Amino acid sequence: MQQKVFEELFERYLQNTITEVEKQQLMELVKNEDYEEFVKEKIALLLEEKENIVVLDKQKSDAILTYILAATPETKVIAMDSREKRHKQLVRVLWATAASVALFLLVRNTIFTTKNIDTAPTKVEQVETVDPILAFTGKQLIHLPDGSTILLNENSSIQYDQTTFNDKTREVRLYGEAYFDIKHNKSKPFIVHTGKVHTKVLGTAFNINAYKNAQNIEVTVTRGKVQVGDAEKVYAIITPNQQIRVNKNTLAYQQNIVDAEEIVKWKSNYLILENNNMEEAIAQISDKYKVTITLGNENIKNCSITASFLNEENLDHVLKVICSVTETNYHYTENGSIVIEGKGCE
């Protein structure tokens, strides 16, 4: 019975007809490796349907490969955005566990080297409506269309309207806690909605804690300047190491001097490499894991890496991912330090 439920949910996921509640149910079921064979068969069938093959460039394929390799032992579901074709759209799904990376590599080699196949135009009988609201839930790094980033803490979510974002304003809605690093744009203010409280900035970095079960909303600035208020008035404009705490019910507020780095200490559990060269990457890794790492070849410094580790992965896991992407290898020395060796990059 459970197998049938999983198969039905998976089919709805492929057809993009699944509800949010059903999606959550699927995410729980997919952790069970009993369904791995079923998903492998689905991938094989998708690859046989040539009209549905999507060709991705090397950068995108490498990004997906990095995500797979960086995954924790828990099973992940990875949805690849569909590309609009003359024929019916299809959302492609790749599913992998730590034990099935080889399967993913096989699929990757098949999909990413396939040429577009010319097909006769087909008549479109109906147009699928796309929900303009984009929602992100759980620990993750979100890249917004304007170049800003949002680092979501656990049990948190962000929503925004993709049809109006970056028109006259850049507006998002936060539930929970997140750290914002906003690109400066004087003509398009960035506004974070947390209930009745609005946080408005032009370009800065700040943290908002607005968990549902908390009595207050806390806005803390690490860089720049932030304006906090509601629809009727501005409470205050705060700068680095300042925090404003607003009562959700009464909207009474209090401004305080704080240690902003202590407030955002939760970010230290995450390791995020955003197009870093290897010299920068090993500096971050060395600092996080308190270990000495050296490069055996100067050319390795020229290699770049983009990867996010959000689940407190151990050092060996991180190094294996880094080395797999940069085509290097690592080993421990007698004194416990680490050496990364390889050809490097030009």
Angle, in degrees to the nearest 10, between helices 36-48 and 2-14: 30
Residues in the chain: 346
Q: How confident is the model at residue 92 (pLDDT cuts 50, 70, 90)?
A: very low
Banded model confidence at residue 34, pLDDT cuts 50, 70, 90: low
Average pLDDT over residues 108-126: 47
pLDDT per residue as tens digits for the range 118-150: 455 555 556 566 689 999 999 999 999 999 999
Q: According to the model, what pLDDT value does residue 245 have?
A: 97
Distances (CA, A) of 343 to 115, 277, 296, 321: 31, 15, 9, 17
Q: Which has the minimum average pLDDT: 45-59, 97-111, 282-296?
A: 97-111
Flag whether pLDDT at 173 surpasses 60: yes
101 burial type by CB count under 10 A (0-12 exposed, 13-18 middle, 19+ buried): middle
Higher-pLDDT residue of 65 and 291 is: 291
Q: What is the pTM (predicted TM-score) of this model?
A: 0.63
pLDDT of 337 reads 96
Return the closest-CA partner of residue 71 out of 13, 142, 153, 140.
140
Mean pLDDT for 167-175 is: 96
SS3 for 19? Answer: coil
Q: Which residue has the tokens 């997140």?
A: 178
Helices within the chain (DSSP H only): 2-14, 20-29, 36-48, 58-70, 101-111, 260-263, 278-289, 315-326
Here the tokens at position 57 are 């460039």
Q: How high does pLDDT run on average in the chain?
A: 78
What percentage of the chain carries pLDDT values higher than 90? Answer: 57
All domains of the chain in start order, with CATH: 2-111 (no CATH), 133-265 (2.60.120.1440), 270-342 (3.55.50.30)
**How far is Cα 306 from Cα 9, in angstroms, rounded to an integer?**
32
